[in-house]
Amino acid sequence: MTQPNPDVAIAQAHTLEPITEIALRAEIPPEALVTFGPYKAKVDITRLRGRREAGQLVLVTGMSPTPAGEGKSTVLIGLADALTRRGLNAAAALREPSQGPVMGIKGGATGGGYAQIVPMEDINLHFTGDFHAVAAATNTLAALVDNHVQQGNELRIDARRIVWQRCLDVNDRSLRGVITGLGGTAHGTPRETGFTITAASEIMAVLCLAADLEDLRLRLGRLTVAFTFDGAPVTADDLGATGALAALMKEAINPNLVQTLGGTPAYVHGGPFANIAHGCSSLIATRVALEHADLVLTEAGFGSDLGAEKFFDIKARHGGLDVAGVVVVATIRSLKYHGGDLADGVRNLARHVDNIRQFGATPLVALNLFTTDTPAERSFLRDWARDHGVALAECEVWARGGTGAEQLAEVLLDNLSAGSRPLYDPRHGVEASIATLATQIYHAEKVEYSPQALRDLAVLREHGWDRLPVCISKTQYSFSDDPAALGAPTGHTLHVRELIPRTGAGFIVALTGAVMTMPGLPARPAAEGIDIDAAGKISGLF
């Protein structure tokens, strides 16, 4: 298990450029660069000047994935390097890996093969501490809530209605449901609660949607942590916690800068999960990238139904971003997974392509090639694209990096357009928003609300929160809320289990199906294969 695996071995064999050189190429002024060793840096947003907002933004999404993933980040990185090779001033804006899954089934999230961001070991392990800062703020707030109840409960918090959960960046199923406060009156009030993974904390969403430190502070203050015995919401502001939380996020708010193997500047910042959160890297990083590069590639987690939809309806709406092009990553493996044959499975891809068009954006399919793909399979997809008027390019980024995405870069540059838009108007209410997404994006026939969700709806209305955009938490494996319904299901029912107001982030989370906000570890965790030698060289990271 400890033999070198290709990804970490390729990354370690690569000679990195100093991050100061990358920053020069990225046009980040030296006084705004805060280095973390020779190859990582943060960009101090309070020291950026002379901003321009001229770059074009390209979103990379995918068809519904197989459990192994379709290489979305890998394609993004290879494509960015192909653009850099053409002499363009390109940048990548990606999410930070979550350490829990690195130790679990998934390995790292820094691309693969010859399309990686580096130093991959550092980025996958702690990086510059942003996730830890989110967890520290989340858990400090939780301690302040319980402490308020313990110290006399001046605000009259109903301990049964403390909604703020703790978090950890660990895949730990045992923390999903816990009772805290045991041991007697000196040790708190016993109550049932749970931990989410850090990527699912609302503070992660706040970090990723904030415009600057002031906006971050405002949003942190609006976090709803509990309800009183009278049903009134209690916020971080009410607890006097806002300043401390913002201080804990002081460095985390600054985007991280690293490089791809092809030397493209990569802003890697923020990492909300895409199935259980909004799945987009930070707005601040996207803006910094657009202000300093001509073409910015960013990703949104999983398919058009999850990350891309939230990119348009939450992040781009909020941040006023225009998307000039959307790359939909597909693999022959995934096409087969979604149908008995390719002709059947391609209906999944077709729906993602159609979905992208609903946002006024131009889709481009990137077929991420594997050595097992046959000429017949590849020609099937080329024919399908031609017959359906879909732009398509093959790429071979894992094995060839930027040189494997030259055709993709060319097709992308030929297909840039303007005028993307959100799908629904949240002012029509959260039920209308959910209905629009369910029918137009998921192709469901109807939406069913659980009794809990109906009670939640009443609470949203009572507090005027029902006109916020919606962030649907749903399985990534299907357009429906049933992970086994592959392909392009229709006529199904979307089950809304729970509606959670995220008053800090500024959206309503709708939990559907049985989506977990805390993953578990598999029978053979990836952690078992990770090692480090006496000189500090890490092995076993994927």
Active-site residues, by number, are 72, 74, 95, 106, 274, 302, 370, 398
- C-beta of 243: minimal distance to a copy of itself in Å? 3
CA dihedral 50, 272, 306, 308 (to 10 degrees): 10
The mark string for 56-95 relative to a copy of itself (x by CB under 8 A, - otherwise) is: ----------------------------------------
Residue whose structure tokens are 């649907």: 472
At 480, list the tokens.
């429906």
Exactly one of 7, 70, 121, 456 binds a copy of itself (CB under 8 A); which one?
A: 121
Coil/strand/helix, residue 61: strand
Coil/strand/helix, residue 352: helix
Tell me the CA distances in angstroms from 138 to 103, 166, 203, 348, 427, one per residue in order: 22, 6, 7, 38, 30
Indicate the residue among 140 and 415 with the shorter CB distance to a copy of itself. Answer: 140
Closest CA to 512 of 458, 467, 462, 475: 475
* The pairing of beta strand 56-62 with beta strand 363-368: unpaired
Exactly one of 12, 35, 407, 417 binds a copy of itself (CB under 8 A); which one?
A: 35
Exactly one of 11, 58, 199, 248 binds a copy of itself (CB under 8 A); which one?
A: 248
Q: Is position 66 annotated in a ligand binding site?
A: yes
- C-beta of 260: minimal distance to a copy of itself in Å? 22
Q: Is 34 in the site for a copy of itself (CB under 8 A)?
A: yes
Closest CA to 86 of 417, 402, 414: 402
Coil/strand/helix, residue 541: coil
Cis peptide before 119 (omega within 30 of 0): yes
Exactly one of 67, 177, 231, 419 binds a copy of itself (CB under 8 A); which one?
A: 177
Indicate the residue among 155 and 244 with the shorter CB distance to a copy of itself. Answer: 244
Selected range binding a copy of itself among 74-82, 188-196, 258-266, 436-444, rule: CB under 8 A: 188-196
User: 8 phi and psi, to 5 degrees?
Assistant: -70, -30
Q: Is position 433 annotated in a ligand binding site?
A: no
Q: Is 54 in the site for a copy of itself (CB under 8 A)?
A: no
How many positions of this chain bind a copy of itself (CB under 8 A)?
85
Exactly one of 4, 16, 24, 36 binds a copy of itself (CB under 8 A); which one?
A: 36
Exactly one of 103, 109, 321, 494 binds a copy of itself (CB under 8 A); which one?
A: 103
User: 323 phi and psi, to 5 degrees?
Assistant: -100, 120
- C-beta of 502: minimal distance to a copy of itself in Å? 22
Indicate the residue among 172 and 410 with the shorter CB distance to a copy of itself. Answer: 172
- C-beta of 99: minimal distance to a copy of itself in Å? 6
**Residue ranges with strand state E in 147-264:** 157-162, 166-168, 178-180, 191-193, 195-197, 224-228, 233-235, 256-260
Between vectors from CA 151 to CA 150 and to CA 157, what angle results, nearest 5°? 65
Exactly one of 169, 313, 466, 481 binds a copy of itself (CB under 8 A); which one?
A: 169
Q: DSSP for 475-532?
A: -SS-SSS-TT--SS--SEEEEEEEEEEETTTTEEEEEETT--SS----SS-GGGG-EE
Coil/strand/helix, residue 204: helix
Question: What is the spatial distance between Cα 164 and Cα 264, in angstroms, rounded to a whole number?
Answer: 39
Exactly one of 174, 379, 419, 446 binds a copy of itself (CB under 8 A); which one?
A: 174
Residue whose structure tokens are 């929160």: 465
Query: What residues from 122 to 161 belong to the interface with a copy of itself (CB under 8 A)?
Result: 122, 125-126, 129, 132-133, 135-136, 139-140, 142-144, 146-147, 150-152
Q: Is 240 in the site for a copy of itself (CB under 8 A)?
A: yes
User: 305 phi and psi, to 5 degrees?
Assistant: -75, -25
- C-beta of 40: minimal distance to a copy of itself in Å? 10
Q: Is 106 in the site for a copy of itself (CB under 8 A)?
A: no
Q: Is position 429 annotated in a ligand binding site?
A: no
Q: Is 212 in the site for a copy of itself (CB under 8 A)?
A: yes
Q: Is position 360 annotated in a ligand binding site?
A: no
The mark string for 469-488 relative to a copy of itself (x by CB under 8 A, - otherwise) is: --------------------
Q: Is position 29 annotated in a ligand binding site?
A: no
Q: Is 6 in the site for a copy of itself (CB under 8 A)?
A: no
Query: What residues from 510 to 529 belong to the interface with a copy of itself (CB under 8 A)?
Result: 520-523, 525, 527-529
Residue type, 143: A
- C-beta of 227: minimal distance to a copy of itself in Å? 18
Q: Is position 505 annotated in a ligand binding site?
A: no
Say which residues have a Cβ less than 8 Å from residue 341's Cβ, sequence separation at least 6. Answer: none
Q: Is position 180 annotated in a ligand binding site?
A: no
- C-beta of 241: minimal distance to a copy of itself in Å? 6
Q: Is 5 in the site for a copy of itself (CB under 8 A)?
A: no
Indicate the residue among 252 and 460 with the shorter CB distance to a copy of itself. Answer: 252
Coil/strand/helix, residue 144: helix
Q: Is position 201 annotated in a ligand binding site?
A: no
Are 514 and 496 in contact, with CB atoms under 8 Å apart? no
Element (DSSP H or E) covering residue 212: none
CA dihedral 24, 25, 29, 35 (to 10 degrees): -60
From the annotation, which residues make up the binding site? 66-73
From the annotation, which residues make up the binding site for ATP? 66-73
